[in-house]
């Protein structure tokens, strides 16, 4: 049975979320990180049932959600989560910021690995932390943490590392041995690793996700995992995420989070997340199959229409990181694609300095829209001067 139908552009344009209402109707929007597929059946049923009961009150710290997440983690990654070590939060962003507030004073260094999810920059600014950029290293066929440079940053005094695992925007799934080495460094220098694992359920065929706190005793002692059903099942507007710890000290730290946090979690988000983690597995498998196809299809489209663009298919998620430097479109090619091709992509420079000359394209859509997006990019090049006029800029990828 096909559960993940491809919706037409006309159907998608009826959506009212930011992705579909930020741009004028002639723009094809592919920046915001959400997918264009219909909701998973079990999630839709849980939401309809809640509305049928007029059950739209405040959320409570739901043991059912902690159990559902623990069950999913055990089935998918062999990770034994203690439900008592699960703390709910309204979103990964809020949770990371609140935990950073506990760990970071004004000007304290925090390590990130650009190109990296662009909201990491404002999250750190919100708590007054000082960015220490340790760019991802280029390997022959992808990217990896530069652990020697990480060690140098820890030696220089950084005590917090905000890890993106899997990594947005490159779609890198970190290797287990790299995470083990990172954990050993964290233990040696007394660093807390905040592991944003929101894309973990979306690891594609051929790679395995290793939840950070599960890779070694040092990782359990020094890591905190942030996760959510929101990326994999498209629930971002429902405001529900989870923070998972694996050691008593981390648990004690989280007890210092503001009491008010629990009241800011969305009740519908809790109900939808339980359904997703418990019963959304078949739908997820189908989405992973579609994305596996799309990452290869995008390579074909680019080879045919934009062969100068460098693209390494992601190992996880639905985001494609495109190196457009050879097109000569300046620091931010997304401005040219938007102005001339009427296709909105995320601007590479917003992911940090290594993002100059790059764009991020969202493949979590239909085959037709993917092909149309590349055609629009190609048409922008056909008649583009080397630096096109700036168009309307995306606000949040």
Ligand X SMILES: Cc1ncc(COP(=O)(O)O)c(C=O)c1O
Q: Any contact of residue 178 with ligand X (CB under 6 A)?
A: no
Shortest gap between Cβ of 228 and ligand X (angstroms)? 5
Shortest gap between Cβ of 172 and ligand X (angstroms)? 12
Residue of the chain from 68, 134, 164, 284 that contacts ligand X (CB under 6 A): 164
Contact map string, positions 319 to 358, toward ligand X, x by CB under 6 A: ----------------------------------------
Residues 189-208 that bind ligand X (CB under 6 A): 196, 198
Tokens 């849980």 appear where?
Answer: 46
The enclosing H or E element of 227 equals: strand 223-227
Q: Any contact of residue 228 with ligand X (CB under 6 A)?
A: yes
Written as six digits, the tokens of 73 are 């983690």
Q: Which stretch binds ligand X (CB under 6 A): 17-25, 88-96, 308-316, 361-369?
A: 88-96
**Cα-Cα end-to-end distance for the chain:** 32
How many chain residues interact with ligand X (CB under 6 A)? 13
Phi, psi of 26 (to 5 degrees): -85, 0
Shortest gap between Cβ of 117 and ligand X (angstroms)? 4
Residue of the chain from 241, 271, 302, 336 that contacts ligand X (CB under 6 A): 241
Written as six digits, the tokens of 324 are 């457009």
Q: Any contact of residue 276 with ligand X (CB under 6 A)?
A: no
Q: Which stretch binds ligand X (CB under 6 A): 91-99, 100-108, 127-135, 381-389?
A: 91-99
Q: Any contact of residue 33 with ligand X (CB under 6 A)?
A: yes
What angle, rounded to 10 degrees, do the helices at 267-279 and 41-52 form? 140
Q: Any contact of residue 91 with ligand X (CB under 6 A)?
A: yes
Residue of the chain from 59, 99, 236, 270 that contacts ligand X (CB under 6 A): 236
Residues 286-305 that bind ligand X (CB under 6 A): none
| CB closer to ligand X out of 241 and 250 | 241
The C-alpha atoms of residue 273 and residue 233 are separated, in whole angstroms, by: 8
Shortest gap between Cβ of 176 and ligand X (angstroms)? 20
CA dihedral 72, 76, 82, 84 (to 10 degrees): -30
CA angle 168-72-255, nearest 5°?
A: 75
| CB closer to ligand X out of 169 and 313 | 169
The answer to whether 338 touches 392, Cβ cutoff 8 Å, is yes
What angle, rounded to 10 degrees, do the helices at 333-341 and 367-382 form? 100
The C-alpha atoms of residue 111 and residue 159 are separated, in whole angstroms, by: 8
Shortest gap between Cβ of 287 and ligand X (angstroms)? 16
The C-alpha atoms of residue 397 and residue 295 are separated, in whole angstroms, by: 19
| CB closer to ligand X out of 91 and 315 | 91
| CB closer to ligand X out of 31 and 388 | 31
Output the DSSP codes for 309-370.
Answer: SEE---SBSSEEEEE-GGGT--S-HHHHHHHHH-EE-EEGGGG-GGGTTEEEEE--S-HHHH
Shortest gap between Cβ of 259 and ligand X (angstroms)? 20
| CB closer to ligand X out of 209 and 340 | 209
- Work out whether the CA dihedral 104, 106, 108, 114 comes out positive or negative: positive
Residues 246-265 that bind ligand X (CB under 6 A): none
Q: Any contact of residue 65 with ligand X (CB under 6 A)?
A: no
Using CB under 6 A, list all residues that contact ligand X. 33, 91-93, 117, 164, 168, 196, 198, 228, 230, 236, 241
């Amino acid at each position: 049975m096909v559960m993940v139908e491809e919706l037409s552009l006309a159907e998608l344009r009826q959506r009212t979320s930011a992705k579909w209402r930020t741009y004028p109707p002639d723009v094809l929007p592919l920046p915001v990180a959400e997918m264009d597929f219909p909701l998973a059946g079990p999630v839709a049923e849980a939401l309809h049932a809640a509305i049928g009961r007029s059950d739209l009150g405040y959320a409570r710290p739901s043991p059912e959600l902690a159990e559902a997440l623990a069950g999913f983690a055990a089935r998918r990654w062999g990770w034994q989560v203690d439900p008592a070590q699960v703390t709910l939060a309204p979103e990964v962003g809020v949770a990371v910021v609140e935990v950073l507030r506990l760990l970071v004073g004004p000007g304290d260094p925090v390590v990130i690995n650009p190109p990296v999810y662009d909201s990491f920059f404002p999250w750190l600014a919100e708590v007054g932390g000082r960015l220490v950029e340790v760019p991802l290293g280029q390997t022959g066929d992808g990217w990896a943490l530069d652990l020697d440079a990480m060690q140098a940053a820890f030696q220089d005094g950084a005590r917090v590392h905000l890890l993106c695992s899997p990594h947005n925007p490159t779609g890198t799934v970190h290797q287990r041995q790299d995470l083990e080495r990172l954990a050993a460094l964290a233990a040696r220098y007394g660093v807390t690793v905040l592991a944003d694992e929101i894309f973990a359920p979306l690891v594609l065929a051929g790679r395995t996700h290793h939840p950070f706190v599960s890779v070694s005793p040092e990782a359990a002692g020094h890591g905190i995992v942030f996760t959510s059903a929101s990326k994999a099942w498209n629930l971002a507007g429902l405001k529900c995420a989870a923070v998972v710890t694996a050691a008593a000290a981390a648990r004690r730290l989280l007890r210092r989070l503001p009491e008010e946090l629990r009241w800011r979690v969305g009740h519908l988000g809790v109900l939808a997340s339980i359904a997703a983690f418990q019963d959304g597995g078949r739908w997820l498998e189908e989405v992973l199959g579609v994305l596996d196809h799309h990452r290869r299809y995008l390579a074909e489209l680019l080879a045919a229409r934009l062969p100068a663009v460098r693209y390494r298919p992601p190992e996880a998620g639905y985001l494609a990181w495109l190196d457009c430097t050879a097109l000569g479109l300046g620091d931010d090619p997304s401005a040219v694609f938007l102005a001339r091709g009427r296709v909105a992509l995320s601007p590479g420079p917003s992911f940090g300095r290594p993002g100059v000359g790059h764009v991020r394209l969202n493949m979590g859509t239909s085959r037709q829209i993917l092909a149309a997006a590349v055609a629009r990019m190609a048409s922008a090049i056909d008649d583009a001067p080397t630096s096109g006029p700036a168009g309307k800029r995306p606000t949040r990828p």
